[in-house]
Amino acid sequence: MDKVLNFKQGSTPLLISMPHAGLRLTPAVAAGLIPEAQSLPDTDWHIPTLYDFAAELGASTLAAEYSRFVIDLNRPSDDKPLYAGATTGLFPATLFDGVPLFSEGKEPSKEERATYLEQIWTPYHQTLQRELARLKAEFGYALLFDAHSIRSVIPHLFDGKLPDFNLGTFNGAACDPGLASQLEAICAAHPQYSHVLNGRFKGGHITRHYGNPAQAIHAVQLELGQCTYMEEFEPFRYRADLAEPTRRVLMELLKSMLGWGCRQYAK
């Protein structure tokens, strides 16, 4: 495999993970996708651009290079389902709309998928784990923000229109409840956006696996409605006029996390 991730080390206890930002495909996946999937509609579009202020905050960033259609970095390696009902797995078989992702008989082989697990999924998680360990060793705690986005209306996955800001802490198991309440309050202070805590999206594998408040590692997932910063349908155009107000809220959320950690773990 060529480059499989983009990692930049920061200077504060915050790591921003972007596991679904990738656009690259392997030859086997590219050859098998149905025409409707070739534009990669289920991508977390423009997430690195949306969070490009991370360096100003001193945050570390970790972003995927390969598409979730190759392998989903926010699923466990044993592919155990994270949600009841409709969802997608480690090796997605359907689009979010429930349509088969690959033409019949053109799915990547088991051998190819084993390579994706070894050469794409594993390096991402090794990097994530190492960076959290470094932050914990240097600061005494670590903050993980798992950044996602999704089309705001997908009847196959959820009813009606998704709230704009969907915070997930695995029902409080992945981060301190005080931090979660603080983030929720920031969202509430911007009534032009709807929000929910632990609604349809409670946090995927990354939030659930790495968040461990008892060990001073606090993880939060944000599933952001794409209508807040882009056009949700092809060509998936970034809309700066929509994005700038949204980015200000994102900046507040991340600054709040850093401030909370500083107060909570002040020596």
pLDDT above 60: residue 85: no
Binned at pLDDT 50, 70 and 90, residue 82 comes out as low
Ranges 54-68, 72-86, 117-131, 155-169: which has the least confidence? 72-86
The mean pLDDT of 192-208, rounded to a whole number, is 96
Q: Which helix (H) or strand (E) holds 221?
A: strand 217-225
Q: Are 70 and 5 a contacting pair, CB within 8 Å?
A: no
Superfamily grouping for domain 5-264: Zn-dependent exopeptidases (3.40.630.40)
Cα–Cα distance measured from residue 142 to residue 152, given in angstroms and rounded to the nearest whole number: 30
Question: Looking at residue 177, what is its pLDDT?
Answer: 97
When the pLDDT of each residue in the chain is averaged and rounded to a whole number, the result is 95
Cα–Cα distance measured from residue 104 to residue 30, given in angstroms and rounded to the nearest whole number: 14
pLDDT above 90: residue 1: no
Q: Is 102 left (phi over 0), alpha (psi -120 to 50) or beta?
A: beta
Confidence (pTM) = 0.95
Write out the two tokens for 131. 């960076």
Binned at pLDDT 50, 70 and 90, residue 89 comes out as confident
The mean pLDDT of 169-188, rounded to a whole number, is 97
| Residue scoring higher pLDDT (98 or 44) | 44
Q: Which helix (H) or strand (E) holds 18?
A: strand 14-18
Question: Looking at residue 225, what is its pLDDT?
Answer: 98
The structural domains of the chain, with segments of one domain joined by +, span: 5-264
